[in-house]
Amino acid sequence: MGGFIGLLLVLYGIDRLVKARAQARRRRSMSQRLAAATARAEEQHQQSQADERASQALTSVLPAIKRPPLTVPGMGPDGVPRRKTSRDCPGQHEGRSTAPGRRSPGTGEHAARPGSQAGRRPGAS
């Protein structure tokens, strides 16, 4: 009977030892993963701080970046939409006459006359 109790105590001790070693291995693994995650987070934090410093340096050199534009493209200074001119669309009117209502020959287009049928639908009276 004494040998049986001794055997149980030895087996219990071995079981405790195996579980303690497994727990130590898990803690070591988790500690390494935590250290790697901390290093990545620190690197990202340093990178974001460097980006922020670069952005601040740029806006200190170019303070107009912080201000809204004085005019919006396509809008006049009073906020009214601006008419498009040939300056706004470069190359659009190349090779054409500058006289209004005139087209270059050979385009198949005709200038509209005040009493012409231009703008009416076919069959409409």
SS3 of residue 81 by DSSP: strand
pLDDT tier, 8 (very low <50, low <70, confident <90, very high otherwise): very high
Where is pLDDT greater, at 107 or 7? 7
Report domain extents, the chain: 2-65
Token output for 125: 């009276």
User: What is the pLDDT averaged over residues 37-42?
Assistant: 97
Residue 73: its pLDDT value, please? 72
User: What is the pLDDT averaged over residues 11-17?
Assistant: 97
What does 27-55 look like in DSSP terms, one character per residue? HHHHHHHHHHHHHHHHHHHHHHHHHHHHH
Query: What tens digit of pLDDT does each residue of 59-106 get?
Result: 776 666 666 666 667 776 666 676 666 665 555 555 555 555 655 555
- Sign of torsion, CA 12 18 21 27? negative
pLDDT tier, 58 (very low <50, low <70, confident <90, very high otherwise): confident
92 contacts 86 by C-beta, under 8 angstroms: yes
Greatest CA separation found in the chain? 127
- Sign of torsion, CA 117 118 119 123? positive
66 contacts 60 by C-beta, under 8 angstroms: no
